[in-house]
Amino acid sequence: MNTNTVVEEKILAKKPNGLAVLVSNTILLLLCIGVMVWAFIALTPSPLMVFLLIITMLYAFIIGPIIYIGLKVIKPNEAIVLTLFGRYLGTIKSEGFYWVHPFASAVVPVASSDFSPSSGKVELKREQAKPSGAASFQMPNRKISLKATTLNNDKQKVNDALGNPIIIGVVVVWRVINTAKAVFNVENYIEYLSIQCDAALRNVVRNYPYDSENDENSLRGSASEVAGKLAEELQGKVDSAGLEIMEARITHLSYAPEIAAAMLQRQQASAIIAARQKIVEGAVGMVEMALTQLSEGDLVDLDEERKANMVSNLLVVLCGNRDVQPIVNSGSLY
């Protein structure tokens, strides 16, 4: 198929009722069998009887069984893509029991692969050793699921905006909206989505730092914005495969093991500095309040030297990590 050819999705609107075709074809087959039995037991065969016998045998052994092949059952949120002698015939999306052209073949949407919706992994089938003489046959799934599906790729190691290696994992909720693009534009739309998800994740993550001390956007503080950017970028990459990205969310975010210890120490240091700053601000306020109340109440007359000594002692008491050991001075201050 030419890569420049764009296949537009065609929905088959006029489809014969499968139950009506099944009943009518079964009745005709029974009539043909009855005619054949009557012709074989007839004592005086005539040219008309021979011609009628040929017609009934042709229908009973060739036409009738072929008609049964065209019966298709479509479940809710399922679709089937039909081709007739290599030409795209159309897509059936509505649930029900239908009859289509018996020589129309359904396209296998995902060939030669297994897909687990919960993990999002696409694994090629491997031949397993079987006992001698054992036969195994599995019909390929020729229907496309239109349900919302979860893609949960493996965690990736990528660099953030600051160049720090991080481990990140995302989950993507997607569905097929254009069956023709899904089966004709790409070889395997599930594997295509998985690879494009990895590429989009790298492009988005490298624009944000893991964490930000300022008010800038970061992976940890702006998870919703990052997820929106990821969904937008991924949607642009999978439009050609007929897929819709419904939602994207970050499921795992951490520093890579080689820098995790160093980053933990930096976070602890930032927390200690912030706590010390808060303690100092409170201590200064308490010292100021103490000096103000002493001056307003005329409890004691302190000169500048005594105020400085008092401020020093109060700050040591309020900002220290250990309990204070008081010293009682029984003599004069001078």
Alpha-carbon distance of 149 to 122, in angstroms, equals 14
Q: For residue 221, what are the domain limits? A: 144-255
Domain boundary among 239, 255, 271: 255
Domain of 234: which CATH number? 3.30.479.30
pLDDT of residue 197: 92
Cα 208 to Cα 159, 168, 173, 220, 236, distances in angstroms: 9, 13, 23, 9, 20
Per-residue tens of pLDDT for the chain, all 334 residues: 444 566 788 888 888 889 999 999 999 999 998 888 887 776 566 777 778 888 888 988 999 999 999 999 999 999 999 999 989 998 999 889 999 989 998 888 774 444 554 444 544 443 343 444 444 445 567 888 899 999 888 888 888 888 888 888 899 999 999 999 999 988 889 999 999 999 999 888 888 888 776 657 888 888 888 888 999 999 999 998 999 999 999 888 888 877 656 666 666 666 767 777 777 777 778 777 777 777 776 666 666 777 777 777 777 766 766 666 666 555 555 5
Same domain for 231 and 291, yes or no, is: no
Same domain, yes or no, for 236 and 285?
no
The answer to whether 287 touches 295, Cβ cutoff 8 Å, is no
Annotate 197-264 with DSSP letters as a single string.
Answer: HHHHHHHHHTTS-S--SSSS--TTT-HHHHHHHHHHHHHHHHGGGTEEEEEEEEEEEEE-HHHHHHHH
d(CA 218, CA 213): 9
Which pLDDT does position 324 carry in this prediction? 60
pLDDT of residue 22: 93
Give the Cα separation of 107 and 111 in Å (integer).
Answer: 9
For helices 18-41 and 47-58, angle between their N-to-C axes, nearest 10 degrees: 140
Same domain for 272 and 236: no
On whether both 195 and 286 belong to a single domain, the answer is no
| 175 found inside a domain | yes
Q: Are residues 72 and 87 in the same domain?
A: yes
Both tokens of 221, joined, read 């503080």
In a domain, 130, yes or no: no
Please tell me whether residues 175 and 248 are part of one structural domain. yes
Instruction: Identify whether residues 290 and 215 lie together within a single domain.
Output: no
- Residue that finishes a domain, picked among 255, 280, 302: 255
- 321: tokens are 């990590």
Query: 185 with 241: CB under 8 angstroms?
Result: yes
Last residue in a domain, options 212, 231, 255: 255
Number of domain units in the chain: 3
Report the pLDDT value the prediction gives residue 332, as an integer from 0 to 100.
Answer: 54
Question: Do residues 240 and 311 share a domain?
Answer: no
Q: Buried b / exposed e across 283-321, counting CB within 10 Å, b at 16+?
A: beeebeeeeeeeeeeeeeeeeeeeeeebbeebeeebeee
For residue 171, the one-letter residue type is V
Instruction: Indicate if 25 and 81 belong to the same structural domain.
Output: yes
Has residue 327 been placed in a domain? no
Q: Which two tokens stand for residue 257?
A: 């093991």
Is residue 248 domain-shared with residue 157, that is, in the same domain? yes
For 89, other C-beta atoms within 10 Å of its C-beta total 19
